[in-house]
Amino acid sequence: GGFFAEELEVVELIYTEATFHLHVPEKKVLKCVKATMKVIAWALTEGKDFDFVFKNFGILVCRGRRVVMRFFEDLLRDVDKMGILANAFLQV
């Protein structure tokens, strides 16, 4: 399967931000993001279990066809200084 329009918008946002902050060519970042999404899509289609760790960010936990993103508490607190977002996620 291909990408949906919403997914393409997210991918564009991710690689644009990454190229800006990492000073890496857009094509290289986009290629890595697309390759990662293909592997994740394949694993989900096959019902494979896996944990995809994003350093200092969180863990994408996949069990069968169920997907949950678990963000690290430090990241949530950094993103939202008032703690509303962190507290909401940590309660779940």
User: Which pLDDT tens digits describe the chain residue by residue (92 residues)?
Assistant: 444 445 545 555 566 666 677 777 778 877 887 888 888 888 888 889 999 898 888 898 989 878 888 888 787 777 776 666 666 666 65
CA 15 from centre of chain: 12
Sheet with 66-71, strands from edge to edge, namely: 50-54, 58-63, 66-71
Q: 79 vs 4, 15, 25, 63, 71, CA distance in Å?
A: 28, 19, 26, 27, 11
